[in-house]
């Protein structure tokens, strides 16, 4: 939240004369690399509606799913740098830089970051039959039974998969990856005890935690979550610097004029400060961010570096 408030202060201090008052003069396309109805799509449509109000032009959300969002990302990377074709980028725009040999774009080279819109920390959840309720107990169990414990993911190359690989590397344990075609099937098998554990969004885990069908070991964030105040962070549980968040943010093509980037940044941060937008984000288990374009670029680079190391060291692949 400190990024959001700092960015809003900068906006209030800035002058309208520094911006291109002619932009936007026509509708804006906002591409999403996933199917309609998912968390990224819901947040994109929420932000688009507010941008439309603020900019006085139609903002059309266009879904282009496929190849872990590479299809939409490449389309925006190759679009005219005029501010009329934008991307809702995600953590995939960091992980894809290493896990794909040729994703069709380079995230740092081909985009002008505008701002990170949200962050949704993951939690490490286990089936209640697992005789471990702390991270240390879970690691000890995995070391006693190498190759026996399993972890579910929503597919190869996604953040739940890579979070599991990072846990294996950091803890020195042998647990088996079980990829599914989407999060729903993976959650179904976790609830049924067919798999041992999984990194899940807090939003998907909380209802099952409350009903006793799941146990949450730790939150993969730098601080505890308001939704789970009694669940320790991974650092508190004994594994520092272990953070896994699903995130998204707004990107324009590289070489988009700075005044247009500034206009989009101002409108987006303004949207993120609205109570109804914050409520929508909270309903998705997410928090608003809204930092500067420079801070967002730095964060993206850190994510590319972090997940690149995990992918290379673990040998993770997409299929």
- Tell me the pLDDT tens digit for each residue of 178-235: 999 888 889 999 999 999 999 998 888 888 988 999 999 999 999 998 889 999 999 9
Which pLDDT score is estimated for 155?
A: 86
Give me the residues of the chain with pLDDT under 70, please: 1-21, 319
- Per-residue model confidence (pLDDT) at position 15: 41
CATH number given to 2-15+24-119+244-314: 3.40.190.150
Q: pLDDT tens digits for 207-218?
A: 898 899 999 999
**What's the pLDDT at 33?**
94
Residues of CATH 3.40.190.10 domain(s) within the chain? 121-220
CA pair distance 15, 13, nearest whole angstrom: 7
Q: Does the predicted TM-score (pTM) go above 0.85?
A: yes
Class of the 121-220 domain? alpha beta
pLDDT at res. 17: 40
Helix axes 258-272, 39-55, angle to 10 degrees: 110
Residues spanned by CATH 3.40.190.150 within the chain? 2-15+24-119+244-314
Joined together, the tokens standing for residue 162 give 């890579």
């Amino acid at each position: 939240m400190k990024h959001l408030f700092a960015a809003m202060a900068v906006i209030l201090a800035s002058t309208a004369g520094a911006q291109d008052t002619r932009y936007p003069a026509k509708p804006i396309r906002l591409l999403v690399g996933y199917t309609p109805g998912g968390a990224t799509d819901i947040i994109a449509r929420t932000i688009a509606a507010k941008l439309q109000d603020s900019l006085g032009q139609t903002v059309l959300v266009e879904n282009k799913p496929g190849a872990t969002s590479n299809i939409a990302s490449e389309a925006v990377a190759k679009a005219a740098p005029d501010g009329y074709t934008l991307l809702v980028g995600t953590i995939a725009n960091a992980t894809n830089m290493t896990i794909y040999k040729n994703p069709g774009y380079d995230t740092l080279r081909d985009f002008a970051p505008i701002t990170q819109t949200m962050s949704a920390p993951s939690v490490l959840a286990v089936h209640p039959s697992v005789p471990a309720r702390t991270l240390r107990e879970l690691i000890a169990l995995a070391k006693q039974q190498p190759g026996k414990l399993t972890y579910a993911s929503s597919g190869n190359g996604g953040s739940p998969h890579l979070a599991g690989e990072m846990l294996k590397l950091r803890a020195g344990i042998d647990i088996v990856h079980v990829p599914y075609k989407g999060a729903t099937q993976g959650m179904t098998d976790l609830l049924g005890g067919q798999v041992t554990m999984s990194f899940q969004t807090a939003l998907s885990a909380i209802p099952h935690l409350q009903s006793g069908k799941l146990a949450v070991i730790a939150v993969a964030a730098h601080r505890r979550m308001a939704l789970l105040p009694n669940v320790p962070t991974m650092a508190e549980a004994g594994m520092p610097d272990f953070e896994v968040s699903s995130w998204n943010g707004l990107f324009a093509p590289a070489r988009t004029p700075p005044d247009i980037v500034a206009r989009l940044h101002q409108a987006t941060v303004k949207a993120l400060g609205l109570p109804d937008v914050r409520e929508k984000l909270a309903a998705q288990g997410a928090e608003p961010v809204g930092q500067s374009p420079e801070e967002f670029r730095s964060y993206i680079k850190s994510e590319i570096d972090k997940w690149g190391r995990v992918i290379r060291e673990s040998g993770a692949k997409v299929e």
